[in-house]
Structure 1
Amino acid sequence: MEQAFDPSTFDAATIAVLVAGMAITGMIGGVLAGLLGVGGGIVIVPVLFWVLRAFQIAPEHASHLAVATSLATIIPTSISSMRSHARRGTVDRDLLRLWGPAVFCGALIGGGLAKFVSGDSLRAIFGVVGLLVAVNMALPKTLVISQHLPANTWVNRLIAGVIGLISSLMGIGGGTLSVPTLSAFAFPTHRAVGTASALGLMIAVPGVAGFIYAGLGVEGLPPSSIGYVNLAAVLIIAPVSYLFAPLGARLAHALDAKSLKRVFALFLMITAIRMLMG
């Protein structure tokens, strides 16, 4: 049986290496977010999980810490992205009013469930949904099941609530699930991406609150953790990711988009399988 992590074992050298690991996590997340238009969480969660495991943090804690900390890094990124998209008029306020409350409630439930969901279950959710997202990205054409959103308000709220719930448990923003879902209903891509930036904030805030509550009183967490949110990691990953996202965006214009999607789909598929393996 693996021993619980003892925070007192963190000496200066260990902390320095951990900081470097967090910075690299932010760099990878930021570049891929800008490069492929996906939320950094889909990259940050698995990388942060492996960094934490490398420092002998129990997998049960590492899973929750990775998801919760990823959600916290999404908050400033979502605010910045939402303001940028709003200036371009690509945030659909009608859709936001329709989906926003349900997304918020779903994310709040997801964060609250973290107290009762095991680390293995969190990795399984990430792995399964990650595989589905990878397959969707690898498809040559976007799957369209209807030319418009469901007419029934409650069906829309159910869809939005499920997106909020799963996104919160995965530690990702709204774009990874909401953009392909909206695209399946022939929703304009730019408006889907713009609105997803606002939905990301509605996922991250209640999700973080739930994970903080779920982690209160838990022993064996790294220094500077409030519940399952590690503030030190947030303060390192968030600004680094923010700074490196423009580099990814510049690379996106210089490289073939279809090839990039396929490469990332392969990367995500391998990552999802690795998370399922534990």
Structure 2
Amino acid sequence: MLLSDILMLMLCGGISGFLAGLLGIGGGMILVPFMILVFNHLGFSQEVVVHMAIATGMCTILFTTSSAIWAHHKHGSIDWKLVAALSPGMVFGGLVGGSELFEALKTSWLSLFFAVFIVYTSIQMLLNKKPKSGRELPGALGLFSFGTFAGALASLVGAGGAFITVPFMLWCNVKPHTAMATSSGLGLPIAAAATLGYMYGSWGNPNLPTGSMGFVYLPAVACIVVVSIFTAPFGAKLARKLDVAQLKRVFGVMLFFLAAFMFNESRKAFGF
């Protein structure tokens, strides 16, 4: 990689780590468009470039989320019982989604699916709409079923799962700050399972470049993580001081531009 590629990935890593700690998101979604630019510049096959960007972004969540988890844990914000209850389903869903479904999707459809997901997330950020409290947390079977769905969906878009786990927890009367912090704890099992699924499902693919383990491009992971592990605790610290609702709206606007980029990638993949 050229120095410009390395610097872009490091900059994105710093931003994604900060957002992971501040907003409870995995940070992978903002990495994907920029990694596509870098991977295209490196001449990667168009058959795998989007898959690699999403898988590599998810792999970085393993490290970024670990840093954010420790920062939230020190303040007693994470509900570890809830993490333990949801994790088995999320691991199962992440493995299935990361290996079977992810590999089966063509680049054109994966780009389109990711773009639609970003639009949905940006609208949620702009509205900052809180779900009405509806009920208590379901039993073991209900939590496993929801975890499976959340894990599979998160693995398809390379996100830590906060976009679906936080609204679910709020609907079940979990306190907002606890829900945000707990989503960081849930990001680790999702990221681990999905990453293993990405590697297993794509092992031996002839289109993969040197330096990759399945769809995960290790040099990019290193560039991103070396910065994100330091900015994630900073974001978690500021989450208790800043107006996060306003920051979400700014982030929502930025996501619209990223969605436009991904829609254009999808258009090119479809040949329009």
Query: Fold-level match, TM-score > 0.5?
Result: yes
Q: Distance in 2 between matches of 1:39 and 1:64?
A: 17
Q: State the percentage of identical aligned residues.
A: 33
1:172 is aligned to 2:159: yes
Q: Distance in 2 between matches of 1:257 and 1:44?
A: 21
Aligned to 2:216: 229
Aligned to 2:82: 95
RMSD, aligned CA: 2.4
Aligned to 1:188: 175
Aligned to 2:270: none
Of 252-261 and 218-227, deviating more is 252-261
For residue 105 of structure 2, give the secondary structure of its aligned residue in structure 1: coil
Deviations 1:213-247 (A, max 9, x none): 22222234333111111111111101212223355
Q: Distance in 2 between matches of 1:253 and 1:105?
A: 33
Q: Distance in 1 between matches of 2:241 and 2:153?
A: 33
Q: Which runs of 5+ in 2 are unaligned?
A: 266-272
How many aligned positions are there?
A: 264
Q: Which amino acid aligns with 1:127?
A: A
1:140–1:232 distance in 2 versus 1, CA, 3 Å: closer
Residues 221-260 of structure 1: pairs in structure 2 closer than 5 A: 221-246=208-233, 248=235, 256-260=243-247
Q: 2:259 aligns with which of 249, 253, 272?
A: 272
Q: Distance in 2 between matches of 1:262 and 1:104?
A: 31
Q: Which amino acid aligns with 2:113?
A: I
1:81–1:32 distance in 2 versus 1, CA, 3 Å: closer
Aligned to 1:130: 118
1:129–1:246 distance in 2 versus 1, CA, 3 Å: same
Q: 1:143 aligns with which of 128, 131, 137?
A: 131
1:197–1:243 distance in 2 versus 1, CA, 3 Å: same
For residue 169 of structure 2, give the secondary structure of its aligned residue in structure 1: helix
Q: Which amino acid aligns with 2:97?
A: G
Does the 8 Å CA contact 2:128/2:248 hold for their aligned counterparts? no
Q: Which amino acid aligns with 1:125?
A: F
Aligned to 1:108: 95
Aligned to 1:65: 52
Q: Which amino acid aligns with 2:112?
A: A
Q: Distance in 2 between matches of 1:193 and 1:35?
A: 9
1:24 is aligned to 2:43: no
Does the 8 Å CA contact 2:58/2:191 hold for their aligned counterparts? yes
Of 258-267 and 180-189, deviating more is 180-189
Please, what TM-score do these two structures have when normalized by structure 1? 0.84
Q: Which amino acid aligns with 1:118?
A: K
Q: 1:33 aligns with which of 13, 20, 24?
A: 20
Q: Which runs of 5+ in 1 are unaligned?
A: 1-13
**In the TM superposition, what is the alpha-carbon distance from 1:33 to its structure 2 partner?**
3.2
Does the 8 Å CA contact 2:10/2:223 hold for their aligned counterparts? yes
Q: Which amino acid aligns with 1:106?
A: G
Does the 8 Å CA contact 2:20/2:65 hold for their aligned counterparts? no
Aligned to 1:80: 67
1:181–1:120 distance in 2 versus 1, CA, 3 Å: farther
Deviations 1:47-85 (A, max 9, x none): 212221233323331111111111211112222222333
Q: Distance in 2 between matches of 1:270 and 1:181?
A: 27
1:120 is aligned to 2:102: no
